[in-house]
């Protein structure tokens, strides 16, 4: 049962990870999106460990491909880069020192480590210190009824998610979009994951993926106005989008 479920969900898991920012995405976010896309909530809960293993497997595979793509891009001669790369910006390839694994354990300690990593990227050392103080909390007692445990866990997840948002977690925060990006997605403010999701929906609706290599997008006029290139790698897209997103708190 678990193997069949994981096999059935694997293509959707890969699609969701490809449309996400690998530096901030979490297993929990992918599970919630699976449920939003029609997967059975209780199947996801009952086979959480197996599904998280598959999420981690696909995540590491995509991360390795991203690292290889940047390595190959970096090995191209300067003259070739000048003729093929956008002139408005330069991106340094990400150095991969080790494989990051998406947190998948159900115990509180691993969840805290995941929270520290995400918040550390956005809020700095002060938030990391606040998070570390929570590690001393005693573990919750195990529920005797499995279904009660599942429901309780879901409520706790929702409460923790609300607390993260109140403390200023930036993953799902709505950002202001540039004019070109707003024209593409049809609104002036979205969270970063929603922006990526809208772009992929736009690309697939118009069949703009390179048939020879699905990692590349063949830009039309609207996409060229944002990314300034005719052929865009999906991992480069996330980096270029930074130039089109602004935190409303930074605007005086």
- Are residues 79 and 9 located together in one domain of the fold? yes
pLDDT of residue 92: 44
**Residue 246 has which token pair?**
């602004």
76, 96, 116: which is the final residue of a domain? 96
Which pLDDT band, with edges at 50, 70 and 90, does 172 fall under?
Answer: confident
CA distances from 25 to 29, 30, 137, 193, 214 (A): 7, 8, 25, 9, 21
- Are residues 151 and 187 located together in one domain of the fold? no
Task: Please compute the mean of the pLDDT values over residues 156-185 and round it to a whole number.
Answer: 71
Largest Cα–Cα distance in the chain? 66
Over the chain, what is the mean pLDDT? 73
- Are residues 33 and 123 located together in one domain of the fold? no
127, 143, 172: which is the final residue of a domain? 172
- Are residues 111 and 80 located together in one domain of the fold? no
The CATH number that applies at residue 190 is 1.10.245.10
Task: Please compute the mean of the pLDDT values over residues 150-154 and round it to a whole number.
Answer: 58
69, 96, 123: which is the final residue of a domain? 96
- Prediction pTM value: 0.37
**Residue 225 has which token pair?**
């106005």
- Are residues 235 and 166 located together in one domain of the fold? no
CA 98/CA 149 separation, integer angstroms: 35
pLDDT digits (tens, 9 = 90+) for 211-248: 998 889 999 999 999 999 999 998 888 889 889 998 88
Q: What values do phi and psi take at 176, rounded to 5?
A: -85, 135
pLDDT of residue 218: 94
- Are residues 8 and 23 located together in one domain of the fold? yes
- Are residues 91 and 139 located together in one domain of the fold? no
Confidence check: pLDDT of 164 > 50: yes
- Are residues 159 and 190 located together in one domain of the fold? no
Q: Identify which of 214, 213, 219 has the alpha carbon closest to the alpha carbon of residue 199.
A: 219
pLDDT digits (tens, 9 = 90+) for 35-65: 988 888 888 888 888 888 988 888 888 877 7
Q: What is the domain extent for residue 75?
A: 1-96
CA 225/CA 56 separation, integer angstroms: 35
pLDDT digits (tens, 9 = 90+) for 188-218: 999 888 999 999 999 999 999 999 988 899 9
Which pLDDT band, with edges at 50, 70 and 90, does 105 fall under?
Answer: very low
- Are residues 168 and 206 located together in one domain of the fold? no
Q: Identify which of 246, 19, 201 has the alpha carbon closest to the alpha carbon of residue 34.
A: 19
- Are residues 92 and 111 located together in one domain of the fold? no
- Are residues 85 and 158 located together in one domain of the fold? no
- Are residues 199 and 221 located together in one domain of the fold? yes
> Are 53 and 10 within 8 A, CB to CB?
no
CA 247/CA 138 separation, integer angstroms: 36
pLDDT of residue 247: 86
Task: Please compute the mean of the pLDDT values over residues 140-167 and round it to a whole number.
Answer: 56
Count up the domains in the chain and report the number. Answer: 3
CB atoms within 10 A of CB 118: 21
pLDDT exceeding 70 applies to what percent of the chain?
Answer: 58
């Amino acid at each position: 049962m678990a193997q069949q479920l994981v096999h059935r969900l694997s293509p959707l898991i890969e699609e969701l990870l490809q449309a996400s920012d690998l530096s901030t995405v979490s297993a929990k976010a992918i599970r919630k999106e699976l449920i939003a896309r029609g997967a059975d909530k209780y199947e996801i809960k009952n086979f959480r460990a197996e599904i998280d293993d598959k999420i981690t497997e696909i995540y590491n595979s995509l991360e390795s491909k991203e690292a290889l793509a940047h390595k190959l891009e970096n090995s191209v001669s300067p003259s070739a880069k000048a003729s093929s790369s956008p002139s408005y910006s330069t991106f340094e390839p990400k150095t991969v020192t080790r494989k990051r694994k998406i947190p998948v354990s159900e115990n509180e300690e691993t969840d805290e480590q995941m929270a520290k990593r995400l918040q550390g990227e956005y809020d700095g050392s002060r938030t990391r210190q606040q998070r570390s103080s929570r590690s001393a909390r005693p573990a919750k007692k195990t529920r005797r009824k499995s279904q009660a445990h599942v429901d309780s866990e879901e409520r706790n997840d929702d409460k923790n998610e609300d607390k993260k948002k109140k403390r200023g977690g930036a993953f799902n925060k709505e950002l202001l979009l540039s004019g070109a990006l707003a024209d593409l997605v049809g609104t002036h403010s979205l969270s970063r994951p929603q922006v990526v999701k809208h772009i992929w929906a736009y690309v697939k609706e118009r069949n703009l993926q390179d048939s020879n290599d699905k990692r590349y997008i063949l830009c039309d006029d609207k996409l060229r106005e944002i990314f300034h290139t005719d052929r865009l790698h999906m991992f480069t897209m996330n980096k270029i989008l930074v130039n089109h997103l602004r935190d409303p708190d930074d605007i005086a």
